[in-house]
Amino acid sequence: MDKPEILINKEKIADCVGRLAEQIREDYRSKDFLMIGILKGSFVFMADLIRALQIPMELDFIRLSSYGSGKESSGKIELVQELRTQVEGRHIVVIEDIVDTGISLNFLLGYLAKQNPASVRLCALLDKPSRRKMPVSIDYLGFTVPDKFIVGYGLDCNEQFRFLSDICIINEN
Ligand code: IMP
Ligand code: MG
């Protein structure tokens, strides 16, 4: 596999995280809210986002799996780790690394809706709209990316490259 090529460098990521934090802070500063991070890909983004936010919130994580391995979504979503926090009546902000086909988020938003939250909004660092199969409305979006496989800043390819500080592209060969 070729060396990953930088698409969005760490300085641009930091600016973007600051901008998203400002928007979320404005909307949630006087609300009791629960942030739900989708593991594993969102953990680096979420760690930076909560420190940029500088307002109190409760956190929980959910783990979904759609990629058995490699780069193609299987289309079948598995709930690998459930939430422990009660969702009913709460304001929820879901944190996702990248929206690709939209299948995972449709599954998750359906799962949350069944638990009667007060509200649900979605914050996604990256959007890859070219491959969408199900519509997803993103309330807080970082960057739109081309139809390439993205790694770094928490995103992986076969569990590799999560540690990279920049958002990078893996070139097919
Ligand atoms: P979706 O259900 O196809 O929208 O897939 C969403 C999940 O697939 C994301 O949360 C990522 O974990 C993973 N994914 C989709 N595209 C990429 C990519 O380019 N790089 C790394 N992971 C990706
Ligand atoms: Mg993910």
CA gap 94, 34 in Å, rounded: 8
**Cβ count within 10 A of residue 54:** 9
| Residue 68 binned pLDDT confidence (cut-offs 50, 70, 90) | low
- CB contact at 8 A, 120 and 112: yes
Residue 72: per-residue pLDDT = 67
Domains of the chain, earliest start first: 11-68+76-148 (3.40.50.2020)
- How confident is the model at residue 67, as a pLDDT? 60
Q: What is the Cα–Cα distance from 18 to 24, expressed in whole angstroms?
A: 10
127 CB within 6 A, ligand 1:
no
Q: Give the number of the atom of ligand 1 that is nearest the alpha carbon of residue 148.
A: 19
**Res. 146 pLDDT band, cuts 50 70 90:** very high
Half-sphere exposure of 172 (CA within 13 A, CB side): 6
- Ligand 1: atom nearest CA of 38 is 10
- In terms of phi and psi (left: phi > 0; alpha: psi -120 to 50; beta: otherwise), the region of 152 is left
| Annotated catalytic residue, options 48, 97, 100, 127 | 100
Indicate if ligand 1 lies below 6 Å from the C-beta of 65: no
Instruction: Please tell me whether the overall predicted TM-score, pTM, comes out greater than 0.85 for this model.
Output: yes
Tell me the CA end-to-end span of the chain in Å, nearest whole number.
Answer: 7
The number of the ligand 1 atom at minimal distance from the alpha carbon of 104 is 2
98 alpha carbon – ligand 2 mean position (Å): 6
> Does residue 172 carry a pLDDT above 90?
no
For residue 166, what pLDDT is reported?
98
Task: State the distance from the centre of ligand 2 to the C-alpha of 128, rounded, in angstroms.
Answer: 12
* pLDDT range class, residue 47, cuts 50, 70, 90: very high
> In the 3-class helix/strand/coil scheme, how is the chain assigned residue by residue?
CCCCEEEECHHHHHHHHHHHHHHHHHHHCCCCEEEEEEECCCHHHHHHHHHHHCCCCEEEEEEEECCCCCCCCCCCCEEEECCCCCCCCCEEEEEEEEECCCHHHHHHHHHHHCCCCCEEEEEEEEECHHHCCCCCCCCEEEEECCCCEEEECCECECCECCCCCCEEEECCC
Does residue 60 carry a pLDDT above 60? yes
Closest ligand by atom to 128 CA: 1
75 within 8 A of 104, measured Cβ to Cβ: no
100 is catalytic: yes
Task: Give 92-114 pLDDT, tens digit per residue.
Answer: 999 999 999 999 999 999 999 99
